[in-house]
Amino acid sequence: MARETYTARLERKVCISEPAQCYHFEFVLDGLESFPFASGQFVSAVADDANGKQQTRAYSLASAANGNRFDLCVNRVEEGFFSNHLADLPDLPIGSEIHVHGPHGHFILQSPITDSILVATGTGIAPMRGYLQWLFPSNGEDRSGGKEIWLVYGTRYETDIYYQDEFEALAQRKPNFHYLPTLSRAQESWGGLRGHVQVHVSRIVEERAARLGLSLPLPAPDPAIPASDLSFDIYAYICGLNFMVSGVRELLAGFGWHRKQIVFERYD
Ligand SMILES: Cc1cc2nc3c(=O)[nH]c(=O)nc-3n(C[C@H](O)[C@H](O)[C@H](O)COP(=O)(O)OP(=O)(O)OC[C@H]3O[C@@H](n4cnc5c(N)ncnc54)[C@H](O)[C@@H]3O)c2cc1C
């Protein structure tokens, strides 16, 4: 069956990091009343390259469902086709359109909401922004159920901390949201966290285990219980390049976490 492809009109484009060449995009689907999706899903964007060959790339929705609108967060990849095509789109007043199909993907919040560690590097922040907009909508509603939500965001430099103001404001507003940006190549003046995301994920897991009186590694669940019947009190959601995603998955497996507790999306 042919997939339905939609035309999305660019309404706003902002460079959110000049050094990393990362852009925030806001699109409107004029032909649709609403574009329902679960936070964390992606759209497939389609365009012809210079040789007239159709190219398709996945881009995580960087917002929660919001009528016929969606946001993307994309950085330029050297020699890449699609990321540069998007980054070069003319903003208003000229305006641009792209073609997408979707939503697609299973990188979504598990139900019911549990304590959750969101781990991202680079534009892996996009689905996390979608989760957080859904958990803590701007109308004051709160879907977190008071569960602890950590966002551990790793990047090299302070200039590459995307959406920092938004997450800091959210952490001010919501005591159960903990925003932990960490830099691997921080300047001396940086007063925040340092090192790779793994260091801070470990600390969260160890402190939580101590608080709950659990020793690590956790005992493996009874193999007689089918995996589909297991329930968990915490999940990790990991998004970014494979190198980081694999590292965090191995770390959590070493703490005795079940593979079902570790939800991930790899960009490469
Ligand atoms: C489910 C999913 C969701 C995604 N969501 C996003 C998103 O929200 N934002 C975003 O910016 N990207 C996202 N990506 C990556 C995106 O689909 C493209 O791979 C990326 O934009 C590069 O495409 P390109 O056409 O510019 O480069 P290509 O022409 O495909 O590749 C050029 C070269 O760059 C390498 N490369 C490809 N991707 C990357 C990368 N991300 N970093 C470093 N090198 C790379 C390739 O191996 C190749 O050597 C997502 C990928 C997946 C699978």
Given the CA of residue 79, which atom of ligand 1 is nearest to it? 32
Cα–Cα dist 130/70, whole Å: 10
Cα–Cα dist 230/251, whole Å: 21
- Token readout for 137 is 């909508």
Q: How confident is the model at residue 1 (pLDDT cuts 50, 70, 90)?
A: low
- Token readout for 126 is 């996009």
Nearest residue by C-alpha to atom 26 in ligand 1: 80
Q: What is the pLDDT of residue 95?
A: 85
Cα dihedral: 8, 9, 10, 11 (round 10): -130
Q: What is the pLDDT of residue 228?
A: 87
HSE value, Cβ hemisphere, 13 Å, CA-based, for 37: 29
Distance 208 CA to ligand 1 centre (A): 34
- Token readout for 85 is 């095509």
76's CB contacts (< 8 A; 6+ apart) are 21, 22, 83, 84, 87
Distance 223 CA to ligand 1 centre (A): 38
Determine the distance from the C-alpha atom of residue 143 to the mean position of all C-alpha atoms in its chain, rounded to a whole number: 18
Nearest residue by C-alpha to atom 28 in ligand 1: 80
Cα–Cα dist 257/254, whole Å: 7
The pLDDT tens digits of the residues spanning 101-136 come to: 999 999 999 999 999 999 999 999 999 999 999 999
Q: Ligand 1: which of 84, 128, 264, 268 to mutate, most ligand atoms within 8 Å of CB?
A: 268
Note the pTM of the prediction, 2 decimals.
0.96
Tell whether the model's pLDDT for residue 235 goes beyond 90: yes
The pLDDT tens digits of the residues spanning 37-87 come to: 999 999 999 999 999 999 999 999 999 999 999 999 999 999 999 999 999
Which residue segments constitute the domains of the chain, with CATH numbers given? Answer: 6-104 (2.40.30.10), 115-266 (3.40.50.80)
Q: Ligand 1: which of 25, 77, 85 to mutate, most ligand atoms within 8 Å of CB?
A: 77
Tell whether the model's pLDDT for residue 92 goes beyond 80: no
Nearest residue by C-alpha to atom 20 in ligand 1: 83
- Span 152-168, average pLDDT: 97
Given the CA of residue 62, which atom of ligand 1 is nearest to it? 8
Cα–Cα dist 13/150, whole Å: 28
Q: What is the pLDDT of residue 2?
A: 67
Q: Are 44 and 56 in contact (CB under 8 A)?
A: yes
Given the CA of residue 84, which atom of ligand 1 is nearest to it? 26
Kindly calculate the radius of gyration of the chain based on its CA atoms and give it in whole angstroms. Answer: 19
- Token readout for 257 is 């976490």
Distance 267 CA to ligand 1 centre (A): 6
Distance 251 CA to ligand 1 centre (A): 25
Distance 43 CA to ligand 1 centre (A): 13
259's CB contacts (< 8 A; 6+ apart) are 253
Cα–Cα dist 200/178, whole Å: 12
261's CB contacts (< 8 A; 6+ apart) are 232, 234, 235, 236, 252
> Residue 160's closest CA among 184, 143, 178, 132?
184
Q: Ligand 1: which of 57, 74, 121, 162 to mutate, most ligand atoms within 8 Å of CB?
A: 57
The pLDDT tens digits of the residues spanning 3-32 come to: 899 999 999 999 999 999 999 999 999 989
Given the CA of residue 59, which atom of ligand 1 is nearest to it? 5
Given the CA of residue 57, which atom of ligand 1 is nearest to it? 17
